[in-house]
Chains A and B, each alone.
Chain A
Amino acid sequence: MPDPREIKRRIEEAIPGAQADVRDFTGGGDHFEATVTAPAFAGLSRLEQHRLVYSVFGTEIGGPIHALSLKTKPERHP
């Protein structure tokens, strides 16, 4: 079962310079909420930013990860 720390780690490993805050907002281990900042988002539309994060998890989204609610920001992370 995914947990917030694992989701955070995977996002940060997959997207260079990303910083993710992830919480399990139902406590059930399948609905997560993440705020992700990454320089890689610069120049991307919001849709593309979210797609980039979703792509880290592939088909797990909608499967074991029932929901991953996102807020993304293209901030620099030195």
Chain B
Amino acid sequence: MTESHPQQPEQTTTDNPLRDAITEAIEENRVILFMKGTPDQPACGFSARTVGCLQSLGTPFAAVNVLGDPRIREELSVLSQWPTIPQLFVNGELVGGCDIVTEMYETGELAEALGIEREQDTGDGATTPAPAAAEVPSGPAPLQPENRLP
């Protein structure tokens, strides 16, 4: 039963390992934010505001600090066709940057995109209270770009 595989199967091999790592991170994390700084210490007001929207919905999310390596930002923008940071991806799709995330937060579309039901403003009043966060609090740990990305 103790079979060890010293060599891992490599299935994604293009000539751009950094881009592959970014693609993989987007695929593996349902909610992932590419930002300047970290959720605890955002290094830019736009990143801070975007983190604030996500945190106030109580959704777990992975975060990549693009300041860790300037190439992350270049490769990400090529992949996403989006020029600025932050960039929020949900289910592998770009949702948008700070403006779009903020606007969607205000209209309730962000909660919807994240699959969170907010029970405020329910007209009939007799609904069962929804949990504060729709997901288990132990979500994916914040991605460490220095570990994941060469």
State the A residues within 8 Å of B (CB).
46-47, 50-51, 54, 59, 61-62, 67-71
Contacts and interface: CB of A to CB of B under 8 A. Distances in A.
Q: Is the interface of B mostly helix, strand, loop or mixed?
A: mixed
Contact of A70 (B77, B81, B85, B99): B99
Nearest to B100: A46
16 contacts: A46-B96, A46-B100, A46-B103, A47-B96, A50-B96, A51-B81, A54-B82, A54-B83, A54-B84, A61-B84, A62-B77, A62-B84, A62-B85, A69-B98, A70-B99, A71-B103
A20 B4 CA distance: 62
- Top 9 nearest A-B pairs (CB, nearest first) are A61-B83, A70-B99, A54-B83, A62-B83, A47-B96, A46-B100, A69-B99, A62-B84, A61-B84
Contacts, number: 33
Interface in B53-104: 77, 81-85, 94-100, 103-104
A47 B103 CA distance: 12
Contacts of A62: 77, 83-85
A47 B83 contact: no
Contacts of B105: none
A46 B104 CA distance: 10
Contact of A47 (B77, B84, B94): B94
B100 A67 contact: no
Contacts of B83: 54, 59, 61-62
Interface in B92-126: 94-100, 103-104
Given A61-B83, A62-B84, A47 B100 contact: yes
Given A61-B84, A70-B99, 10 more contacts: A46-B100, A46-B104, A47-B94, A47-B96, A50-B96, A59-B83, A62-B83, A67-B46, A67-B84, A71-B103
Nearest to B46: A67
Among B94, B96, B99, the most chain A Cβ lie within 10 Å of the Cβ of B99
Contacts of A50: 96-97, 99-100
